[in-house]
Structure 1
């Protein structure tokens, strides 16, 4: 996959800190990094300074909170997680384009929750992608086109889309209803167009 998806704003989640070159490049080329609560300590230990630290702050030490109190935005709402609080902060500030890294790993339930949430973020008006150490998740609505490499691994997770179709993949698509049914496909060309009516999630392996 040919990536040059640098955004001015990046959210660093409190999952496993990125180790692969692509999410690290996305992270370190951002002008402003918002850290979700406990992710801030990892980010600072790597010699960086967050733009904002957002969350309920239950994962931060007292000393760390004192040192960085001027950039901490504490949101005590327990109905949303720290990733969503960070996304809402950006959207409320009029910022709709951003990437997310470090939002997977550690607890599998948190990983599944964060991955599914980017569909909500898209429907809230965000142009967002989630980068992991292995690939990128892209929330989609309707017909979407991606730059890829031939024989690149690609999966589609359907949410409510109908009439899903592409001539650019090795295996034919259908209106699958279970998440696993659209996984482990393969690209044929250097671009892929997926046609659909509704919402679906694309995962492209690096």
Structure 2
């Protein structure tokens, strides 16, 4: 598989390839086609290169004796970004790199599966960049993103939607969900909104007053 890039305008999301479970070639191909900049984390570059994917950037702390020079020829032109800061994860470093480069949106793949601590961190880290970068995490079973205070979107009936709070989220109300919420509170570890469903074809509205609320569009 090769990439890229057929870019329609400056608003197309960049793409980060982390080092969790791989997604399908179909999903990978869809995202590669439209990504203006593709970043592979250093821990994933061997797997990425083995698939024949051309990336623009290899980024990470380069631990475990990682030698990026090995990829310069086969991935040319390639930008190598070494960020040794151990206070941030490599995916956080990738977000900050994209913000510095002026990107407004990014899709993230290979960010779930494999190690549970990495999956949880990757999903919840996106809230700290809420005002700088629109982040969507995708795999073959779900699409995860942070909700604004009011969210409206058309869905088909029975679409599975999960509302996952990062910390405590207050004043949540929904319309057109099978299990409605009316000015209620969700809190991670105590009460979440997993496996709700769209009631009828049409607009789903979700509002909340405070806190960070993730929406997961899910399919089996």
TM-score scaled to structure 2, two decimals?
A: 0.82
**Are the counterparts in 2 of residues 17 and 42 from structure 1 also a CA contact under 8 Å?**
no
Q: Which structure shows the higher helix fraction? A: 1
CA separation of 1:60 and 1:90: change in aligned 2, threshold 3 A: farther
Structure (1 or 2) with the greater strand fraction: 2
1:94/1:26 CA distance change after superposition, 3 Å: same
Instruction: After TM superposition, give the deviation of residue 177 of structure 1 in Å.
Output: 2.0
Q: Residue 65 of structure 1 aligns with which residue?
A: 69
Deviations, residues 62-97 of structure 1 (Å, cap 9, x unaligned): 3x5333285211100000011010000000111121
Determine which structure has more spread, i.e. the larger CA radius of gyration: 2
> Are the structure 2 counterparts of residues 75 and 100 from structure 1 closer, same or farther at C-alpha, using a change threshold of 3 Å?
same
- The structure 2 residue matched to 1:162, chosen from 167, 170, 173, is 170
* Change over 3 Å in CA distance of 1:8–1:143 after alignment to 2: closer
- Quote the residue 2:103 is aligned against: 95
Take 1:119 and 1:205, find their aligned partners in 2: how far apart are those partners?
20
The one of the two structures with greater contact order (alpha-carbon pairs below 8 A, sep at least 6) is 1
Q: Is the 8 A contact 2:21 2:114 kept in 1?
A: yes
- Residue of structure 2 in register with 1:44 after alignment: 49
After TM superposition, the structure 1 = structure 2 runs for residues 97-176 of structure 1, keeping only pairs within 5 Å, are 97-123=105-131, 125-159=132-166, 160-173=168-181, 174-176=184-186
Secondary structure of 1:175's partner?
strand
The whole-number CA distance in structure 1 between the counterparts of 2:45 and 2:202 is 37
- Closer, same or farther: CA 172–30 of 1 in aligned 2, 3 Å: same
User: In the alignment, what sits opposite 1:186?
Assistant: 197
- Which stretches of structure 1, 4 residues or longer, exceed 6 Å deviation after superposition? none
- Structure 2, gaps ≥5 residues long: 1-10
- What's the TM-score once normalised by structure 1's chain length? 0.87
Moved more, 21-30 or 166-175: 21-30
8 Å CA contact 1:33–1:50 kept in 2: the answer is yes
1:152 to partner: Cα distance: 0.7
Q: How far has the Cα of 1:24 moved from its partner?
A: 4.5
Contact 1:12 1:100 in 2 (8 A): yes
Q: CA deviation at 1:60?
A: 6.9
**Partner of residue 5, structure 2:** none
